[in-house]
């Protein structure tokens, strides 16, 4: 997982024209946490991973964790934010989806994780299908 968070971090750092890096980071972290189902794993371990790789503060991670736990995370909003920050660039969007895909697979490769990835992927791409 560490490796994949680093990839997201690299993607953020390689974007010169991101309007708001913090929004992009928060939206990315929320989608990764949804895919790996953060409510079922040790949040403390992941809080430090997100802090190290994405510079996410503990309270920011806690907010994402709470929203997912209460089924209150607006995934559509996160997807729209990331697409806008990537200027709807299809190559960048596909690179981002590859990272999410890997997160789903390395997370014990469960059906639930993969299904979450598919739902998010289709929100990104439905208009192009």
Partner 1 sequence: MRLEKFTILYVEDDEITQELIKEILLPSCKEVFVASNGEEGLALYKEKNPDIVLSDIAMPKMNGLEMSEAIKKLNPEQPIALFTAFSESAFLKKAAEIGVATYILKPLDEEQFFNSLNYMAIELEVNRDIAGQNG
Least Å distance, CB 106 to partner 1, is 7
122 touching partner 1, by CB under 8 A = yes
Query: Considering only 12-20, 40-48, 60-68, 117-125, which stretch makes contact with partner 1 by CB under 8 A?
Result: 117-125
Rounded Cα gap, residues 15 and 37, in angstroms: 27
Q: Which of 7, 73, 63, 3 shows the shortest CA–CA distance to 35?
A: 73
Select 43 or 75, whichever has its Cβ closest to partner 1. Answer: 75
Q: Is 57 in the site for partner 1 (CB under 8 A)?
A: no
Closest CB to partner 1 among 63 and 123? 123
SS3 category, 109: coil
Contact 38, 64 (CB under 8 A): yes
How far apart are alpha carbons 85 and 12 in whole angstroms? 10
Binding to partner 1 by residue 70, rule CB under 8 A? no
Which of 105, 116, 120, 127 forms a contact with partner 1 (CB under 8 A)? Answer: 105
């Amino acid at each position: 997982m560490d490796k994949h968070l680093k990839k997201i971090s690299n993607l953020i750092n390689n974007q010169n024209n991101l309007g708001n890096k913090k929004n992009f980071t928060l939206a990315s972290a929320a989608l990764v946490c949804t895919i790996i189902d953060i409510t079922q794993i040790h949040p403390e371990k992941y809080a430090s991973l997100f802090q190290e790789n994405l510079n996410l503060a503990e309270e920011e991670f806690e907010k994402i964790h709470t929203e997912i736990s209460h089924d209150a995370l607006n995934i559509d909003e996160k997807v729209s934010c990331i697409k806008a920050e990537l200027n709807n660039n299809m190559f960048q969007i596909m690179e981002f989806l590859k990272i999410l895909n890997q997160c789903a697979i390395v997370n014990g490769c469960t059906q639930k994780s993969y299904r979450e990835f598919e739902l998010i992927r289709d929100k990104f791409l439905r208009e192009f299908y």
